[in-house]
């Protein structure tokens, strides 16, 4: 019997597999992104004031990404339990830390793509005029925020995978825990887009917060994920 | 005392919550305890 | 099987002593808090709400810390410590009840002192988010699965929830400090405490800690009873089924 692969190799394998499944099925691209886009349109109906929409844009973008996280995280484990793939990995002795990191990484990539589309949508729909110096801040904060969201989403979606009643439970578990991410990402993007009347440099403390949350949720997830998914 | 209704209200709320939760818990304990023999109750 | 004596419930001598002490201390707290202690210089009589508000928030956080410690224990033991798991669950239930009480009594205090029920203060916002988090924890405890599986799942949520407390508090504080508007509402919870006020608060903390111990002991035993009843009814159903089907016969 061969020895199971190491954590990094496992994570890379799982992430590549999840992204390949997404590439073939195109669920995020064909279902979640259109949902997020129509949410952005509905925000415009709810606010009905172009000036206010511009000021609110960063918060609306991240609210939309958070709603999409709930869908994507659910989906990430639906593909596992459909054919018992997670059980097969566990029986084969694959390290749960590797599974967690791999699934979280794949989720983070999908969310990052979604966040990029949503920021572009906000620029077009809400008539924003971002300062040129904000791009680095925007990209850095989006990467940190999506990593934090993906780690938290993976912990809870894995925990609730295969349990009846998970569809309504997952939002209740995830939303309060990701509130620091929502605060941090909104403020950072606000600074990057110049919508809150703040300078670009004011956004960096928020990136620090996002990085701490991302690292903390990844560490807690790696430590507890094995217990969450075992039968 | 100004705003006395808020002050009395907060005391009533706090101790009322304790009383309601305690009463419900003890009633459930009593009904369940009829269905388990005493020798299986580890606290006795 | 019937016994001539009435079956014993979850009370023991220890819980009766603790319960009586908690009632006496609560009566004492009410007397001191409403009658004997003076009104505060800055807050006036609103400070009297503090004597129930501060002990109940203390109890809620104590309960969540106990839940977190028990959760770590459950995870280390891989879910095979049902007693510890029951204490974690009992403690979280009490914590959620007192978190709700804390939020409402805090709002009543805020209405008198700030003139509004709600303020986006770091402590208040963190408490509200934490309240929702532990409602989620209780929902996870109610999910189906084997007892060990349930214990491990809820332990994971218990650990994540407690890790969340400093992050949420820090982020909300950072948010408020950068977005401070007009400081009309600058009265803080901190008061100049004189001797009798401190003593009253101390009585409250003791009383509520006694309530916590009393509730956790009883609730954990009720959970054990419920598990035993479930086990017994399953055994009885199996025995009935075995009696229906003759040995070796087909169904």
**So what's the pLDDT on residue C186?**
44
Q: Are A214 and A154 in contact (CB under 8 A)?
A: no
CA nearest to C218, candidates C67, C62, C12: C12
Percent with pLDDT over 90 in chain C: 40
Query: Which pLDDT band holds residue C185 (cuts at 50, 70, 90)?
Result: very low
Asked if the structure places residue A2 within a domain, the reply is no
| pTM given for the model | 0.88
Q: Are A72 and A28 in contact (CB under 8 A)?
A: yes
Judged by a CB distance cut-off of 8 A, whether residue C209 touches chain B is no
Distances (CA, A) of C69 to A177, C62, C152, C162, C222: 19, 11, 13, 10, 21
Top-confidence residue, C246 or A73: A73
Residues A126-168 have pLDDT tens digits of 888 888 778 888 999 999 999 999 999 999 998 888 787 788 8
Asked if the structure places residue A166 within a domain, the reply is yes
CA atoms of A205 and A190, how far apart (whole Å) = 13
Q: From chain A, pick out residues whose CB is under 8 angstroms from the CB of C171.
A: 179-180, 183-184, 209, 213
For residue A154, count other CB atoms closer than 10 A to its CB: 28
Q: Is residue A18 within a helix (H) or strand (E), and if so which, with residue range?
A: helix A7-25
- Say if residue C143 is exposed, middle or buried (CB neighbours under 10 Å; 0-12, 13-18, 19+): middle
Asked if the structure places residue A213 within a domain, the reply is yes
Tally of domains within chain A = 1
Asked if the structure places residue A199 within a domain, the reply is yes
Judged by a CB distance cut-off of 8 A, whether residue A179 touches chain C is yes
Alpha helices in A48-134 (DSSP H): 50-82, 85-91, 96-125
Give backbone dihedrals phi and psi of C180, rounded to 5 degrees, phi first.
-70, 125
Asked if the structure places residue A1 within a domain, the reply is no
Domain range enclosing A61: 7-229
Cα dihedral A27/A32/A37/A38 (nearest 10): 110
Average pLDDT score over chain A: 87
Q: From chain C, pick out residues whose CB is under 8 angstroms from the CB of B24.
A: none
Which chains touch A (3+ CB pairs under 8 A)? Answer: C
Is it the case that chain A and chain C have 3 or more CB pairs lying under 8 Å apart? yes
CA nearest to B7, candidates A154, A87, C45: C45
Query: Which pLDDT band holds residue A2 (cuts at 50, 70, 90)?
Result: low
Asked if the structure places residue A204 within a domain, the reply is yes
* Complex-level ipTM beyond the 0.95 threshold: no
Cα dihedral A95/A97/A99/A101 (nearest 10): -150
Query: Which pLDDT band holds residue C184 (cuts at 50, 70, 90)?
Result: very low
CA nearest to A62, candidates A129, A145, A137, A121: A145
Q: How many DSSP H helices and E strands does chain B contain? A: 1, 0
Query: Which pLDDT band holds residue C247 (cuts at 50, 70, 90)?
Result: low
The answer on pLDDT for C250 being more than 50 is no
Chain C, 10-49: which have a CB under 8 Å from a chain A CB?
none
- Identify residues of B whose CB sits under 8 angstroms from chain C CBs: 1-4, 6-11, 13-15, 17-18, 21-22, 25-26, 28-30, 32-38, 40-44
Average pLDDT score over chain C: 84
* Beta bridge pairs of residue C40: C44
Residues C135-166 have pLDDT tens digits of 999 999 988 888 888 899 999 999 999 888 88
**So what's the pLDDT on residue C246?**
60
Residues B8-23 have pLDDT tens digits of 999 999 999 999 999 9
Cα A193–chain centre separation: 20
Chain C, 118-157: which have a CB under 8 Å from a chain B CB?
none
């Amino acid at each position: 019997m061969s020895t199971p692969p190491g954590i990094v190799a496992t994570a890379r394998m799982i992430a590549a597999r999840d992204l390949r499944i997404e590439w073939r099925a195109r669920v995020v691209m064909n279902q979640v992104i259109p949902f997020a886009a129509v949410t952005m349109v509905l925000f415009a109906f709810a606010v009905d004031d172009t000036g206010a929409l511009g000021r609110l844009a960063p918060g609306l973008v991240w609210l939309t990404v958070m709603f999409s996280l709930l869908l994507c995280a659910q989906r990430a484990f639906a593909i596992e339990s459909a054919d018992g793939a997670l059980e097969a990995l566990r029986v084969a002795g694959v390290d749960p830390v590797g599974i967690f990191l791999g699934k979280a990484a794949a989720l983070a990539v999908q969310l990052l793509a979604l966040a990029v589309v949503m920021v572009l949508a906000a620029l077009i729909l809400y008539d924003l005029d971002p300062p040129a110096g904000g791009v680095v801040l925007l990209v850095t904060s989006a990467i940190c925020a999506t990593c934090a969201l993906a780690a938290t989403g993976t912990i809870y979606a894995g925990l609730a995978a295969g349990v009846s009643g998970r569809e309504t439970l997952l939002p209740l578990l995830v939303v309060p825990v990701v509130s620091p991410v929502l605060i941090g990402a909104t403020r950072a993007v606000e600074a990057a887009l110049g919508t809150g009347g703040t300078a670009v440099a004011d956004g960096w403390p928020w990136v620090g917060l996002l990085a701490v949350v991302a690292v903390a949720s990844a560490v807690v997830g790696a430590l507890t994920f094995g217990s969450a998914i075992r039968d | 005392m100004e705003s006395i209704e808020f002050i009395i209200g907060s005391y009533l709320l706090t101790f009322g919550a304790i009383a309601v939760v305690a009463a419900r818990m003890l009633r459930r304990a009593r009904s369940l305890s009829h269905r388990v023999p005493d020798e299986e109750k580890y606290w006795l | 099987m019937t016994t001539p004596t009435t079956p014993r419930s979850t009370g023991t001598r220890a819980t009766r002593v603790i319960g009586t002490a908690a009632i006496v201390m609560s009566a004492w707290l009410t007397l001191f808090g409403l009658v004997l202690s003076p009104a505060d210089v800055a807050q006036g009589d609103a400070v009297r709400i503090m004597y129930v508000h501060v002990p109940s928030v203390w109890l809620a956080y104590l309960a969540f810390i106990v839940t977190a410690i028990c959760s770590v224990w459950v995870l280390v033991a891989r879910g095979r410590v049902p007693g510890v798991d029951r204490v974690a669950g009992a403690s979280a239930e009490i914590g959620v009840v007192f978190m709700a009480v804390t939020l409402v009594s805090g709002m009543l205090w805020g209405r008198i002192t700030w003139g509004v029920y709600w303020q986006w203060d770091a402590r208040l916002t963190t408490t509200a988010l934490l309240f929702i988090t532990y409602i989620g924890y209780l929902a996870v405890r109610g999910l189906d699965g084997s007892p060990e599986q349930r214990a491990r799942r809820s332990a994971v949520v218990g650990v994540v929830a407690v890790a969340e407390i400093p992050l949420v508090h820090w982020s909300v504080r950072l948010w408020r400090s950068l977005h401070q508007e007009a400081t009309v509402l600058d009265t803080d919870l901190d008061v100049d405490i004189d001797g009798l006020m401190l003593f009253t608060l101390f009585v409250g903390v003791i009383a509520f800690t006694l309530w916590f111990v009393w509730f956790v002991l009883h609730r954990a035993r009720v959970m054990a009873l419920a598990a035993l009843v479930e086990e017994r009814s399953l055994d009885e159903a199996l025995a009935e089924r075995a009696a229906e089907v003759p040995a070796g016969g087909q169904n």
